[in-house]
Amino acid sequence: MPGTGKKWACAAAVFVFAMTLAGCGEKNEALQNAMGLVQSLEYEEALAQLEEAEESGANGRLVNRGRGLAYMGLTDYDQAIACFQQALSSSNGLVENVDFDLNYYMAAAYVKSGRYQEAEDTYNAILDLRGDEKDAYFLRGNVRLSLADFQGAMEDFDRVIAMEPQNYDRLIEIYEVLDSFGYREAGQEYLQAALDSNDKSMDTYITGRIYYYLGEYQKAYLALEEAKDKGGVDSYLYLGRAYEATGDYNYAYNVYNSYLSKYDGDAEIYNQLGLCELARGEYQSALDAFQAGMQLENNPVKQSLAFNEIVAYEYLGEYEQAYALLADYMKNYPDDEQAGRELDFLSTR
Protein backbone atom coordinates (compact mmCIF):
# COMPACT_ATOMS: atom_id res chain seq x y z
CA MET A 1 0.00 0.00 0.00
CA PRO A 2 1.32 3.47 -0.79
CA GLY A 3 2.99 5.37 1.99
CA THR A 4 3.51 2.53 4.43
CA GLY A 5 6.55 1.25 6.32
CA LYS A 6 7.74 -0.14 9.61
CA LYS A 7 6.32 2.04 12.32
CA TRP A 8 9.32 2.04 14.64
CA ALA A 9 11.61 3.39 11.95
CA CYS A 10 9.18 6.23 11.29
CA ALA A 11 8.87 6.97 14.98
CA ALA A 12 12.62 7.24 15.34
CA ALA A 13 12.94 9.51 12.32
CA VAL A 14 10.13 11.79 13.47
CA PHE A 15 11.67 12.01 16.92
CA VAL A 16 15.04 12.98 15.48
CA PHE A 17 13.89 15.59 13.02
CA ALA A 18 11.42 17.11 15.46
CA MET A 19 14.49 17.90 17.56
CA THR A 20 16.55 19.37 14.71
CA LEU A 21 16.33 22.94 15.94
CA ALA A 22 15.93 22.13 19.62
CA GLY A 23 18.49 23.32 22.08
CA CYS A 24 20.62 25.25 19.60
CA GLY A 25 20.54 28.58 21.38
CA GLU A 26 23.13 29.66 18.81
CA LYS A 27 22.68 32.99 17.03
CA ASN A 28 25.21 32.34 14.28
CA GLU A 29 23.32 33.17 11.08
CA ALA A 30 25.06 30.58 8.91
CA LEU A 31 24.30 27.85 11.46
CA GLN A 32 20.65 28.85 11.63
CA ASN A 33 20.47 28.90 7.83
CA ALA A 34 22.01 25.44 7.73
CA MET A 35 19.42 24.07 10.11
CA GLY A 36 16.68 25.54 7.95
CA LEU A 37 18.20 23.84 4.92
CA VAL A 38 18.23 20.51 6.75
CA GLN A 39 14.54 20.97 7.51
CA SER A 40 13.83 21.63 3.83
CA LEU A 41 15.88 18.54 2.80
CA GLU A 42 18.59 20.60 1.07
CA TYR A 43 21.45 18.67 2.61
CA GLU A 44 24.35 19.57 0.32
CA GLU A 45 23.52 23.25 0.72
CA ALA A 46 23.31 22.73 4.47
CA LEU A 47 26.81 21.26 4.56
CA ALA A 48 28.15 24.29 2.68
CA GLN A 49 26.48 26.61 5.20
CA LEU A 50 27.94 24.60 8.05
CA GLU A 51 31.43 25.14 6.63
CA GLU A 52 30.71 28.86 6.65
CA ALA A 53 29.34 28.63 10.19
CA GLU A 54 32.50 26.89 11.41
CA GLU A 55 34.71 29.51 9.76
CA SER A 56 32.72 32.30 11.40
CA GLY A 57 33.20 30.85 14.87
CA ALA A 58 29.97 28.98 15.49
CA ASN A 59 29.83 26.44 18.30
CA GLY A 60 31.77 23.43 17.02
CA ARG A 61 29.55 20.87 18.71
CA LEU A 62 26.46 22.33 17.04
CA VAL A 63 28.21 22.48 13.69
CA ASN A 64 29.05 18.78 13.89
CA ARG A 65 25.55 18.05 15.09
CA GLY A 66 24.20 19.80 12.00
CA ARG A 67 26.63 17.92 9.78
CA GLY A 68 25.46 14.65 11.27
CA LEU A 69 21.85 15.50 10.44
CA ALA A 70 22.75 16.52 6.91
CA TYR A 71 24.70 13.31 6.33
CA MET A 72 21.75 11.33 7.70
CA GLY A 73 19.56 13.04 5.12
CA LEU A 74 22.06 12.01 2.45
CA THR A 75 21.95 8.44 3.85
CA ASP A 76 25.68 8.57 4.61
CA TYR A 77 25.15 7.08 8.05
CA ASP A 78 28.78 6.25 8.79
CA GLN A 79 29.74 9.88 8.21
CA ALA A 80 26.77 11.01 10.31
CA ILE A 81 27.84 8.80 13.19
CA ALA A 82 31.40 10.15 12.96
CA CYS A 83 30.08 13.71 13.20
CA PHE A 84 27.90 12.93 16.21
CA GLN A 85 30.80 11.18 17.89
CA GLN A 86 33.05 14.16 17.24
CA ALA A 87 30.44 16.48 18.74
CA LEU A 88 30.16 14.24 21.81
CA SER A 89 33.94 13.98 22.21
CA SER A 90 34.28 17.76 22.42
CA SER A 91 32.20 17.94 25.58
CA ASN A 92 33.59 19.95 28.49
CA GLY A 93 32.94 17.00 30.78
CA LEU A 94 29.58 18.20 32.05
CA VAL A 95 26.59 16.23 30.77
CA GLU A 96 24.23 18.64 29.01
CA ASN A 97 20.93 18.31 27.15
CA VAL A 98 22.76 18.47 23.85
CA ASP A 99 24.65 15.30 24.79
CA PHE A 100 21.39 13.43 25.08
CA ASP A 101 19.98 14.57 21.77
CA LEU A 102 23.32 13.79 20.08
CA ASN A 103 23.04 10.27 21.43
CA TYR A 104 19.47 10.01 20.17
CA TYR A 105 20.63 11.13 16.73
CA MET A 106 23.53 8.70 16.78
CA ALA A 107 21.26 5.82 17.79
CA ALA A 108 18.92 6.68 14.92
CA ALA A 109 21.88 6.64 12.50
CA TYR A 110 22.93 3.22 13.82
CA VAL A 111 19.36 2.01 13.26
CA LYS A 112 19.27 3.39 9.73
CA SER A 113 22.54 1.61 8.91
CA GLY A 114 21.32 -1.67 10.41
CA ARG A 115 23.79 -1.57 13.33
CA TYR A 116 21.16 -2.48 15.89
CA GLN A 117 23.46 -3.66 18.65
CA GLU A 118 25.30 -0.36 18.63
CA ALA A 119 21.96 1.44 18.68
CA GLU A 120 20.91 -0.57 21.74
CA ASP A 121 24.23 0.23 23.42
CA THR A 122 23.59 3.92 22.79
CA TYR A 123 20.13 3.79 24.34
CA ASN A 124 21.66 1.91 27.28
CA ALA A 125 24.09 4.79 27.75
CA ILE A 126 21.24 7.30 27.73
CA LEU A 127 19.30 5.30 30.29
CA ASP A 128 22.34 4.83 32.51
CA LEU A 129 22.43 8.61 32.90
CA ARG A 130 18.70 9.29 32.79
CA GLY A 131 16.65 6.35 33.93
CA ASP A 132 13.36 8.14 33.32
CA GLU A 133 13.81 8.69 29.56
CA LYS A 134 10.57 7.22 28.26
CA ASP A 135 11.56 7.80 24.63
CA ALA A 136 14.77 5.85 25.13
CA TYR A 137 12.89 2.86 26.55
CA PHE A 138 10.40 2.98 23.67
CA LEU A 139 13.08 3.26 20.99
CA ARG A 140 15.25 0.61 22.64
CA GLY A 141 12.22 -1.68 22.53
CA ASN A 142 12.05 -1.09 18.78
CA VAL A 143 15.72 -1.94 18.39
CA ARG A 144 15.40 -5.06 20.50
CA LEU A 145 12.69 -6.33 18.16
CA SER A 146 15.17 -5.86 15.30
CA LEU A 147 17.63 -7.94 17.33
CA ALA A 148 14.95 -10.65 17.75
CA ASP A 149 14.89 -9.92 21.49
CA PHE A 150 11.12 -10.05 21.94
CA GLN A 151 11.28 -10.49 25.71
CA GLY A 152 13.63 -7.53 26.12
CA ALA A 153 11.40 -5.40 23.91
CA MET A 154 8.32 -6.28 25.94
CA GLU A 155 10.14 -5.36 29.14
CA ASP A 156 10.88 -1.93 27.66
CA PHE A 157 7.31 -1.45 26.48
CA ASP A 158 5.98 -2.56 29.88
CA ARG A 159 8.23 0.02 31.49
CA VAL A 160 6.99 2.79 29.20
CA ILE A 161 3.36 1.94 29.88
CA ALA A 162 3.96 1.80 33.61
CA MET A 163 5.63 5.22 33.48
CA GLU A 164 2.72 6.85 31.63
CA PRO A 165 -0.33 4.58 31.94
CA GLN A 166 -2.76 7.11 30.46
CA ASN A 167 -0.65 7.99 27.41
CA TYR A 168 -2.82 6.17 24.89
CA ASP A 169 -1.02 7.71 21.92
CA ARG A 170 2.15 5.94 23.02
CA LEU A 171 0.19 2.75 23.71
CA ILE A 172 -1.05 2.76 20.13
CA GLU A 173 2.49 3.41 18.88
CA ILE A 174 3.63 0.33 20.77
CA TYR A 175 0.84 -1.69 19.18
CA GLU A 176 1.83 -0.47 15.71
CA VAL A 177 5.47 -1.38 16.29
CA LEU A 178 4.61 -4.87 17.49
CA ASP A 179 2.20 -5.34 14.60
CA SER A 180 4.87 -4.29 12.06
CA PHE A 181 7.19 -6.99 13.44
CA GLY A 182 4.51 -9.68 13.31
CA TYR A 183 3.43 -9.55 16.95
CA ARG A 184 -0.10 -8.19 16.47
CA GLU A 185 -1.62 -10.34 19.18
CA ALA A 186 0.88 -9.07 21.75
CA GLY A 187 0.05 -5.51 20.76
CA GLN A 188 -3.67 -6.16 20.95
CA GLU A 189 -3.27 -7.54 24.45
CA TYR A 190 -1.99 -4.12 25.52
CA LEU A 191 -4.97 -2.45 23.87
CA GLN A 192 -7.50 -4.84 25.37
CA ALA A 193 -5.98 -4.38 28.83
CA ALA A 194 -6.43 -0.63 28.43
CA LEU A 195 -10.10 -1.07 27.57
CA ASP A 196 -10.58 -3.49 30.46
CA SER A 197 -9.08 -0.98 32.90
CA ASN A 198 -12.26 1.13 32.73
CA ASP A 199 -10.16 4.25 33.00
CA LYS A 200 -12.60 7.15 33.33
CA SER A 201 -10.26 9.44 31.44
CA MET A 202 -10.68 7.28 28.34
CA ASP A 203 -13.17 9.10 26.10
CA THR A 204 -14.90 7.95 22.90
CA TYR A 205 -12.03 9.20 20.76
CA ILE A 206 -9.55 6.97 22.59
CA THR A 207 -11.86 3.95 22.71
CA GLY A 208 -12.72 4.40 19.04
CA ARG A 209 -9.07 4.29 18.06
CA ILE A 210 -8.44 1.26 20.24
CA TYR A 211 -11.43 -0.57 18.72
CA TYR A 212 -10.04 0.29 15.27
CA TYR A 213 -6.72 -1.43 16.04
CA LEU A 214 -8.52 -4.36 17.62
CA GLY A 215 -10.33 -4.83 14.31
CA GLU A 216 -13.74 -4.08 15.80
CA TYR A 217 -14.61 -1.55 13.14
CA GLN A 218 -18.32 -1.13 13.84
CA LYS A 219 -17.59 -0.28 17.47
CA ALA A 220 -14.81 1.98 16.25
CA TYR A 221 -16.92 4.08 13.92
CA LEU A 222 -19.80 4.30 16.38
CA ALA A 223 -17.45 5.72 19.01
CA LEU A 224 -15.65 7.96 16.54
CA GLU A 225 -18.90 9.36 15.10
CA GLU A 226 -19.63 10.57 18.62
CA ALA A 227 -16.11 11.91 19.07
CA LYS A 228 -15.46 13.49 15.69
CA ASP A 229 -16.39 17.05 16.62
CA LYS A 230 -14.36 16.86 19.83
CA GLY A 231 -11.27 14.95 18.77
CA GLY A 232 -10.39 17.19 15.84
CA VAL A 233 -8.75 16.03 12.65
CA ASP A 234 -7.57 12.68 14.04
CA SER A 235 -11.16 11.70 14.86
CA TYR A 236 -12.10 12.20 11.21
CA LEU A 237 -9.01 10.29 10.05
CA TYR A 238 -9.76 7.27 12.21
CA LEU A 239 -13.48 7.42 11.43
CA GLY A 240 -12.77 7.37 7.71
CA ARG A 241 -10.22 4.58 8.08
CA ALA A 242 -12.73 2.50 10.06
CA TYR A 243 -15.21 2.78 7.21
CA GLU A 244 -12.47 1.99 4.69
CA ALA A 245 -11.60 -1.13 6.67
CA THR A 246 -15.19 -2.37 6.19
CA GLY A 247 -14.96 -1.65 2.45
CA ASP A 248 -17.26 1.37 2.61
CA TYR A 249 -15.03 3.75 0.66
CA ASN A 250 -17.93 5.97 -0.34
CA TYR A 251 -18.77 6.82 3.25
CA ALA A 252 -15.08 7.27 4.08
CA TYR A 253 -14.85 9.71 1.15
CA ASN A 254 -17.75 11.66 2.65
CA VAL A 255 -16.06 11.74 6.06
CA TYR A 256 -12.84 13.26 4.69
CA ASN A 257 -14.70 15.78 2.57
CA SER A 258 -16.90 16.68 5.51
CA TYR A 259 -13.80 17.69 7.43
CA LEU A 260 -12.42 19.70 4.52
CA SER A 261 -15.73 21.54 4.09
CA LYS A 262 -15.75 22.61 7.75
CA TYR A 263 -12.12 23.30 8.58
CA ASP A 264 -8.87 24.46 7.05
CA GLY A 265 -7.11 21.95 4.85
CA ASP A 266 -5.07 19.25 6.58
CA ALA A 267 -2.26 17.33 4.89
CA GLU A 268 -3.11 14.00 6.52
CA ILE A 269 -6.77 14.31 5.56
CA TYR A 270 -5.79 15.04 1.95
CA ASN A 271 -3.40 12.08 1.98
CA GLN A 272 -6.04 9.70 3.33
CA LEU A 273 -8.65 11.10 0.92
CA GLY A 274 -6.25 10.42 -1.93
CA LEU A 275 -5.68 6.85 -0.79
CA CYS A 276 -9.43 6.38 -0.50
CA GLU A 277 -9.89 7.70 -4.04
CA LEU A 278 -7.23 5.31 -5.32
CA ALA A 279 -9.20 2.46 -3.77
CA ARG A 280 -12.38 3.74 -5.47
CA GLY A 281 -10.61 3.93 -8.82
CA GLU A 282 -10.92 7.71 -8.97
CA TYR A 283 -7.32 8.32 -9.94
CA GLN A 284 -7.56 11.96 -11.03
CA SER A 285 -9.36 12.87 -7.81
CA ALA A 286 -6.68 11.00 -5.87
CA LEU A 287 -3.97 13.01 -7.64
CA ASP A 288 -5.81 16.26 -6.90
CA ALA A 289 -6.01 15.35 -3.20
CA PHE A 290 -2.30 14.49 -2.92
CA GLN A 291 -1.29 17.69 -4.70
CA ALA A 292 -3.59 19.80 -2.51
CA GLY A 293 -1.96 18.29 0.58
CA MET A 294 1.51 19.05 -0.74
CA GLN A 295 0.68 22.75 -1.01
CA LEU A 296 0.21 23.05 2.77
CA GLU A 297 2.99 24.33 5.01
CA ASN A 298 4.30 22.53 8.12
CA ASN A 299 3.47 19.26 6.42
CA PRO A 300 4.05 16.12 8.56
CA VAL A 301 3.29 13.70 5.68
CA LYS A 302 5.18 15.42 2.88
CA GLN A 303 7.11 12.28 1.94
CA SER A 304 4.00 10.11 1.86
CA LEU A 305 2.13 12.66 -0.26
CA ALA A 306 5.04 12.94 -2.68
CA PHE A 307 5.23 9.18 -3.14
CA ASN A 308 1.47 8.78 -3.44
CA GLU A 309 1.35 11.52 -6.09
CA ILE A 310 3.72 9.37 -8.15
CA VAL A 311 1.51 6.32 -7.64
CA ALA A 312 -1.53 8.31 -8.84
CA TYR A 313 0.30 9.29 -12.03
CA GLU A 314 1.12 5.61 -12.58
CA TYR A 315 -2.54 4.64 -12.25
CA LEU A 316 -3.38 7.38 -14.75
CA GLY A 317 -0.89 5.85 -17.17
CA GLU A 318 1.32 8.95 -17.15
CA TYR A 319 4.55 7.02 -16.73
CA GLU A 320 6.94 9.71 -17.95
CA GLN A 321 5.64 12.20 -15.40
CA ALA A 322 5.72 9.52 -12.67
CA TYR A 323 9.33 8.65 -13.59
CA ALA A 324 10.45 12.29 -13.51
CA LEU A 325 8.84 12.90 -10.13
CA LEU A 326 10.22 9.66 -8.73
CA ALA A 327 13.75 10.61 -9.78
CA ASP A 328 13.37 13.86 -7.83
CA TYR A 329 11.81 11.98 -4.92
CA MET A 330 14.81 9.67 -4.70
CA LYS A 331 17.12 12.69 -4.38
CA ASN A 332 15.22 13.77 -1.26
CA TYR A 333 14.56 10.29 0.18
CA PRO A 334 17.39 8.09 -1.17
CA ASP A 335 16.92 5.33 1.40
CA ASP A 336 13.31 4.55 0.42
CA GLU A 337 13.77 1.00 -0.87
CA GLN A 338 10.18 0.74 -2.12
CA ALA A 339 10.67 3.88 -4.22
CA GLY A 340 13.94 2.48 -5.57
CA ARG A 341 12.13 -0.61 -6.81
CA GLU A 342 9.43 1.59 -8.29
CA LEU A 343 12.07 3.60 -10.15
CA ASP A 344 13.45 0.39 -11.68
CA PHE A 345 9.92 -0.58 -12.77
CA LEU A 346 9.14 2.81 -14.31
CA SER A 347 12.43 2.87 -16.20
CA THR A 348 11.13 -0.08 -18.25
CA ARG A 349 7.79 1.49 -19.15
> DSSP readout, 95-124?
--HHHHHHHHHHHHHHHHTT-HHHHHHHHH
Dihedral angle at the C-alpha atoms of 134, 139, 140, 146, nearest 10 degrees?
160
Answer yes or no: are the C-beta atoms of 235 and 248 closer than 8 Å.
no
Cα 34 to Cα 37: distance, rounded to the nearest angstrom: 5
Cα 81 to Cα 309: distance, rounded to the nearest angstrom: 33
Q: Is 215 exposed, middle or buried (0-12, 13-18, 19+ CB in 10 A)?
A: exposed
Cα 133 to Cα 174: distance, rounded to the nearest angstrom: 16
pLDDT at 211: 97
pLDDT at 19: 43
Q: What's the CA angle centered on 180, arms 137 and 271, to 5 degrees?
A: 105
266 closest CA partner among 238, 306, 300, 221: 300
Dihedral angle at the C-alpha atoms of 333, 338, 343, 348, nearest 10 degrees?
180
Cα 70 to Cα 208: distance, rounded to the nearest angstrom: 39
pLDDT at 22: 40
Q: Which residues of the chain have pLDDT under 70?
A: 1-26, 231, 340, 342-349
Domains of the chain (ranges plus CATH)?
Answer: 1-114 (1.25.40.10), 116-199 (1.25.40.10), 203-263 (1.25.40), 266-349 (1.25.40.10)
pTM for this entry: 0.85
Buried b (16+ CB within 10 A) or exposed e, 317-330: ebeeebbebbeebe
